[in-house]
């Protein structure tokens, strides 16, 4: 299986359940791995057969910036759905890091996998 990845994608968004979180954007950091067969793209050297990570990242950035989820669980699940259904990614692994969510911890978040490898 071939994996396309985006690492350290930092996005500002409204996320959280507390009043101050509904008014102040916070940074979430995404690490994304996506299964994609690269064989045809490699053989043809043609972008139409590749998973265009620029297009993927623009879509995810736009979605996260505009979202206003209360829970990171919902946000990460919706990102997985976008990747699987809009970009036909059969398997995805996403790590969402809600920076500075816990005093004294530099990292806190969720890792999910969806689909089949």
Task: Tell me the residue range of the domain where 56 lies.
Answer: 3-115
pLDDT-derived band at 111 (thresholds 50, 70, 90) equals very high
Rounded Cα gap, residues 108 and 98, in angstroms: 6
- Using an 8 Å Cβ cutoff, are 21 and 87 in contact? no
Q: What is the pLDDT of residues 62-89, one digit of tens each?
A: 999 999 999 999 999 999 999 999 999 9
Rounded Cα gap, residues 89 and 59, in angstroms: 14
Residue 95 designated active-site: no
Provide the whole-model pTM.
0.94
Q: How many domains does one find in the chain? A: 1
Q: Specify whether the backbone of 103 is left (phi greater than 0), alpha (psi in -120 to 50) or beta.
A: beta
- The token pair that represents 109 in the structure block: 């978040």
**CATH number, residue 16:** 3.30.1130.10
pLDDT-derived band at 104 (thresholds 50, 70, 90) equals confident
Question: Residue 100 pLDDT > 80, yes or no?
Answer: no
Q: What is the pLDDT of residues 54-63, one digit of tens each?
A: 999 999 999 9
Longest dimension (CA), the chain: 53
- Using an 8 Å Cβ cutoff, are 31 and 83 in contact? no
The single residue of 58, 93, 98, 117 carrying the catalytic annotation is: 98
Phi and psi for 65 in degrees, rounded to 5?
-60, -35
């Amino acid at each position: 299986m071939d994996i396309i990845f985006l690492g350290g994608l930092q996005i500002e968004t409204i996320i959280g359940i507390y009043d101050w979180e509904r008014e102040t954007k916070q940074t979430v950091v995404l690490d994304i791995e996506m299964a994609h067969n690269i064989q045809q793209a490699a053989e043809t050297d043609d972008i139409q057969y590749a998973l265009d990570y620029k297009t993927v990242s623009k879509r995810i950035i736009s979605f996260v910036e505009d979202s206003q989820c209360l829970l990171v669980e919902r946000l990460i699940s919706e990102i997985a759905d976008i990747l699987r259904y809009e970009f036909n990614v059969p398997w995805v692994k996403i790590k969402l890091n809600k920076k500075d969510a816990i005093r004294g911890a530099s990292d806190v978040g969720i890792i999910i996998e969806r689909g089949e490898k």
